[in-house]
Amino acid sequence: MALIKEIRQRTGLAIGVIAVGLILFLVGGDLLGPNSMLLGGQDTVVGEINGEEISYEEYVNRVEQIKQNYQRNTGRNPSENQLYSIREQAWQALMVEKVFTEQYQELGMIISDAELVDMVQGKNIVAELRQQLTNPETGEFDRQQLIAFLQSLENASPQQRAAWAQQEKVFADSRLRIKYDNLLASSSFANSEEAKLQHKMENAVADVQHLFVPYYVISDSAVNISDSELKAYLKEHSDRFEVSNARDIDYVQFNLHPSGEDTAAVVQDMNRLVADLKSTNNDSLFVLRNSQISTPFRTYRPGDMLPNTLSSNVEFPEEGKVYGPYITDRSSYVAYKVTDRFDGTPRMRASHILLSTEGMEGAEKEAVKQQAQDILNEIKETGNFAAAAQQYGQDGTARRGGDLGWFAKADFVEEFADATFAAKSTGLMDEIVETEYGYHIIKVTELPQTSSVKLATLELQLGPSEETRNEVFRNADYFAANSGNSQEFKDNAEEDGYRVMSANGLSPNARNLNNLSGARQVVRWAFAEASVGEVSEVFELDNAYVVATLKSKTKEGDASLDQVRSQVLAEVRKEKKAAKIKENLEGKESLEAMKEVYPEFASLGSTPDLKLNSNTIPGVGFAPKAIGAIFGLQEPGEMTPPIQEETGVIVAKLNSMTPAPEIADYTRYQNQLENTSSQRAAYMIMMAVEELADVKDYRYKFF
């Protein structure tokens, strides 16, 4: 009995140990990691925005919201790459909330109830909703699906209604950001003097001769540089040599390539499935069950390109036939079956230039109409629609020459759709079209087409089998187990014939090692866990196993001389060589005489059409300081002083200067500057916000 009692006591202990072990296995290693709250870790801050700490919990909750939206919209879990994108969206959303919301309130910017209704069920349904509610048969947005969904919300569960309310908030926040960006973009302004300068930069022409003396005319050994000089240079130019939080690692990559047996097995499976695809009566179900791609059955509408593997092998795929298998550049075998050819919803392609009249009435609106007519007349003369769209267009299509891509009639407001679909030929439309958004100048690039194709795609990946993976893993694991430090790592790699690769200057948020993608776990190990000289465990990436060793750590801030010695040395050496070259050229009155100082290496050249907006001189290279000096010369025959550039010293002589001709109206250049500025506005706003909000990102410690 005593023995039985002892066994029972031990069994209870064993069960407890096993239970704890299972919990740790299910929860993951983070529970015992450096940020573990279980072991008293306090580092639960993933970043700071505008002086406010962002907790791990707040950030993960935001990620989870976006992740759930993704799952609802796609019906599948996000991949690792998609999860990275979701995390970035969550971080951006927090920045908007912590910084931009305050700006919206100060400006009185809102999304009204009527505007929100229009975004989710009116004439201007947001693109995200259009993509979510697409008819799989036609590939077009299905308004009936939207109506049915909105009606179903009346009887939906509280969780479903809450999810829709959250989705509407996302739409509203996105629209507010667009309004804010557009507001600042529309404030972009260039005055008449800036326009005149732009005109001068584009049209003033200098005819010059130039002498170029490269730095290598003086050997490195001829220039003596002390540490004190390097330190003085670094101190004076410290802002140019700041270093970021970074890591340097060495790693050995154990590639996962399919063996000959693996390839033979895939080919055998592919041939069997191709035979079945030829005989099946349900193509879509067959490829959904057997193909290893996410969208194996798809409708290709006018404007959609058939897969290149098919179009490059078959000129006109016939309905009912199976083509392939072909090997792809994705390391897979693929075959196609044309399930159906039919006439679908007509789609066409056009470009436009929008001049907005929102909020305008009377004479102000009439002035915009006249401007649109003037632009139309200008295009008729020049024939360059794309350039005019970039210069005058007032919506997002301007940067791509006004191109709207392929669209169906239902995709646009009635006036625009009626006008474009009534076109009898391609080309510039004679009349301006007015809609609620303003006046449109339209160029039809493709007339309406209806021919559509349903295509079933059968694709099998050519990858390593489990047996091959296990063999490669055993090699990697043996190497890692026998490498206790960086020196043993190098010695073992040399002995076993493995190539050691380096990834230097890794940033905390890096996801790749050189060309090796999906390496986030290696980067996180280097930043969150590893000490210098430590060798990692085996990491499994998409197409390889990796074993790494940490070489060095760099903390963010001003660089020490040891960290940037080679860069500082190169800059100081250039300065000293430039000084010697200038000294040797002093007193020489012509470019030819200067060339004789370095007859073998100095070069003489001429540029008859140099412009002020250039930053390079033909035959010399990048030389912005020299170009600026050239356009500062006043008289023919005048020479610049010797000018130090990136690769050598330049002296230029002005032969003649053709000034930019005077013109009556500089509006074109003013618009050009304003458009360039407005197109960069969203990016510049985000950069400014991050700087002013002093955003600090510590997510690399957790993800």
pLDDT digits (tens, 9 = 90+) for 515-565: 898 899 999 999 987 899 999 999 999 889 999 999 988 887 777 787 788
CA angle 306, 308, 314 (to 5 degrees): 80
Asked if residue 227 has pLDDT above 70, the reply is yes
Q: How confident is the model at residue 277 (pLDDT cuts 50, 70, 90)?
A: very high
Q: Tally Cβ neighbours within 10 Å of residue 415.
A: 14
Closest of 521, 505, 559 to residue 248, by C-alpha:
505
Instruction: Report which of residues 81 and 263 the model is more confident about.
Output: 263
Asked if residue 25 has pLDDT above 60, the reply is no
DSSP 319: B
pTM of the model: 0.58
State whether residue 449 is helix, strand or coil: strand
Non-local (6+) Cβ contacts of 4 within 8 A are none
> Quick one: what percent of the chain has pLDDT higher than 90?
54
Q: What is the CATH number of domain 205-240+564-658?
A: 3.10.50
Tell me the CA end-to-end span of the chain in Å, nearest whole number. 53
Q: What is the pLDDT of residues 585-619, one digit of tens each?
A: 999 999 999 999 999 999 999 999 999 999 999 98
Instruction: Report which of residues 262 and 73 the model is more confident about.
Output: 262
Q: What is the dihedral of CA 227, 230, 235, 239, to 10 degrees?
A: -140
What local confidence, expressed as pLDDT, does residue 138 receive?
63
What local confidence, expressed as pLDDT, does residue 651 receive?
96
Q: Rounded mean pLDDT of 376-382?
A: 92
Assigned token pair, 642:
């010797």
User: 259-463, which class in CATH?
Assistant: alpha beta
Q: How far apart are the C-alpha atoms of 371 and 441, rounded to whole Å?
A: 11
Non-local (6+) Cβ contacts of 1 within 8 A are none
- How would CATH label the architecture of 245-257+465-555? Roll (3.10)
Q: What is the pLDDT of residues 473-512, one digit of tens each?
A: 999 999 999 999 999 999 999 999 999 999 988 888 888 9
